[in-house]
Amino acid sequence: MSDPVWKNRYKPPQASLWKGRQDSEIKERFFEKIIFSDLSKVSLEQSSAQTYGFVGFASDEGIKRNLGRKGAFKGPEAIRKALANFPLHHLEKASFIDVGDILCEDENLEEAQQALGEIVSDLLSKHIFPVVLGGGHEISWGMHQGIVAAQPNNPVAVINFDAHLDLRPLLKGVLGSSGTSFLQIAKSYEARGLEFEYVCLGLQQTGNTKSLLDVAHQQGSRVIFAEDFFAHGPQKSLELIREITHKKAAIHLTICMDVFAAAFAPGVSSPQVLGLFPWHVMLCLKELAHSGRVVGFDIAELSPPLDTQDMTAKLAASLVAHFLYEHFQQNDTTSLTP
């Protein structure tokens, strides 16, 4: 049997990224709670407590292929640095593992995505909830490969907060990019004769052509445009999320940072002047976390070289932290232990 692909693209976790203030002898911040697992030396162990595994996907290749502005390769490091000093609040009973990064330093994006899928599948098989930090939105195709490998007979819905549908045609008919992840996922389900449920929230009228909207319609995708959030608040999205979580056993959650207005998220390849406000999304994240249906979470398109005062990195880290606060409260079983 050949070695797993990830071994050739793996970078061990860096403890130097996790630093912060210490307010007491009690572990109250993420940097005090995180443990590190070098997968090139030690295999993951089965988790009995609620455990979250952070893995980075350092890649600009998908953005480059999509003719975007590069810089997302540095995203995983920036999110870790921003998250490190955040308070745990009621996450003291949770466990956190940083397992390092998968790197795409060449043009072989497909192999890097396969490598990411292998790590995600390993995390899930050990009952560790994967939190994948990007990197371009090509991250989601790699992430989804891992989710499906871990539960091949269970169709997984995707809920994507994004200014773009990311249903673009494959380049030369075969190559993916940061704009093709959900087309690739859809095609993989079609090849297996399975239905693919795709929801895109925060879509921009100016960021998607008629042909892309037609593809979404043909596939039965559900979309809510950014203007709906401003006209009605998040209510329509919350109703759709409840509908999906009631009928689907598993959900892959993904957030593209370009869904937010540039005032909040300047550090992205494609900044949006009419994007969402963070609290529009926070309420939806709470609903998703409480559903108990989310099996993995990735966050994409943070580009530190394009950021202003680490604003986008702090927002990305805040989204991760708030999701984990709510997810752990809903899924914590330690309080039931006598």
Conformational region of residue 71, where left means phi above 0, alpha means psi within -120 to 50, and beta covers everything else: left
Conformational region of residue 189, where left means phi above 0, alpha means psi within -120 to 50, and beta covers everything else: alpha
Query: What does the pLDDT read at residue 335?
Result: 41
**Using an 8 Å Cβ cutoff, are 161 and 261 in contact?**
no
Neighbours of 191 (CB within 10 A): 8
Query: What does the pLDDT read at residue 337?
Result: 37
Write the CA distances from 68 to 39, 63, 301, integer angstroms.
Answer: 32, 5, 10
**Using an 8 Å Cβ cutoff, are 293 and 252 in contact?**
no
Beta partners for residue 132, in sequence order:
55, 298
Place of tokens 């995180």: 34
Q: What is the dihedral of CA 303, 222, 144, 46, to 10 degrees?
A: 100
Residues 325-336 as b/e (b if ≥16 CB within 10 A, e otherwise) read bbbbeeeeeeee
Whole-angstrom distance, CA of residue 199 vs CA of residue 175: 23
The CA-based angle 78-331-155, given to 5 degrees, is: 80
Burial class for 238, CB neighbours closer than 10 Å (0-12, 13-18, 19+): middle
Query: What does the pLDDT read at residue 23?
Result: 87
- pLDDT tens for 141-155 read 999 999 999 998 888
Please name the residues in contact with 169: beta carbons below 8 A apart, sequence gap of 6 or more. Answer: 180, 183
Query: What does the pLDDT read at residue 1?
Result: 55
The ranges of the chain with pLDDT < 70 are 1, 332-338
Structural domain spans, the chain: 5-330
pTM: 0.95
Residue type, 217: H
Query: What does the pLDDT read at residue 302?
Result: 99
Conformational region of residue 313, where left means phi above 0, alpha means psi within -120 to 50, and beta covers everything else: alpha
CA-based max dimension of the chain:
59
Whole-angstrom distance, CA of residue 296 vs CA of residue 132: 8
Query: What does the pLDDT read at residue 166?
Result: 97
Neighbours of 1 (CB within 10 A): 3
The listed CATH number (3.40.800.10, 3.30.70.260, 2.30.29.30, 3.40.1710.10) that belongs to domain 5-330 = 3.40.800.10
Please name the residues in contact with 160: beta carbons below 8 A apart, sequence gap of 6 or more. Answer: 140, 166, 182, 198, 199, 200, 201, 254, 255, 256
φ, ψ at 297 (rounded to 5°): -135, 125
Whole-angstrom distance, CA of residue 84 vs CA of residue 29: 7
**Using an 8 Å Cβ cutoff, are 318 and 89 in contact?**
no
Neighbours of 214 (CB within 10 A): 11
